[in-house]
């Protein structure tokens, strides 16, 4: 995962990467290690609703960000917007809700897929 920092990788992609780089281990070991890394706060598990629900893992750098997910190519794009963050806190406060965490995932078609469809 260090070699693919900033990427959102599935367990299958991590497994394949290890095989390709002559570091074989069973897929069950990959899942077990990912689970352990998640428990100690080294990786974050993300679930994105695409054609098939798939879990992705990313390093947990403890810097909040949100995601945009392309429904065509399934690419994942991270972003941070202070205005959105501030507004979410205000909304929660207006409802008397103590916000402890949140995830914002936006779904649409990325620029590359839009260009491909237009061309």
pLDDT digits (tens, 9 = 90+) for 65-85: 999 989 888 888 989 999 999
Where in the chain are the domains?
Answer: 1-62, 63-119
63-119 is a CATH 3.30.300.30 domain: no
Average of per-residue pLDDT across 3-18:
81
Pick the CATH number of 1-62 from 1.10.10.10, 1.10.3720.10, 3.90.79.10, 3.40.50.300: 1.10.10.10
Out of 3-17, 26-40, 51-65, the most confident range is 26-40
**pLDDT exceeds 70 at position 63:** yes
Q: Vertex 44, ends 26 and 95: CA angle to 5°? A: 150
Instruction: For 83-99, give one letter per residue: b (16+ CB within 10 A) or e.
Output: eeeeeeeeeeeeeeeee
Please tell me if the domain spanning 1-62 has the same topology as the one spanning 63-119: no
Give the per-residue pLDDT at 9: 83
What confidence tier does 49 reach under pLDDT thresholds 50, 70, 90? low
Q: Say whether pTM exceeds 0.75.
A: no
Q: Tell me if 60 sits within 8 A of 41, measured CB to CB.
A: yes
């Amino acid at each position: 995962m260090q070699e693919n920092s900033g990427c959102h990788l599935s367990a299958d992609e991590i497994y394949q990467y290890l095989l390709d780089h002559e570091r074989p281990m069973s897929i069950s070991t990959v899942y077990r290690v990912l689970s352990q890394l998640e428990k100690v706060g080294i990786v974050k598990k993300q679930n994105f609703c695409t054609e098939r629900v798939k879990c992705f893992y990313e390093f947990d750098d403890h810097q909040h960000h949100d995601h945009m997910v392309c429904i065509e190519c399934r690419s994942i794009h991270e972003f941070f917007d202070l205005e959105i963050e501030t507004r979410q806190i205000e909304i929660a406060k207006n409802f008397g809700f103590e916000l402890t965490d949140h995830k914002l995932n936006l779904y649409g078609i990325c620029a590359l897929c839009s260009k491909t469809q237009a061309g």
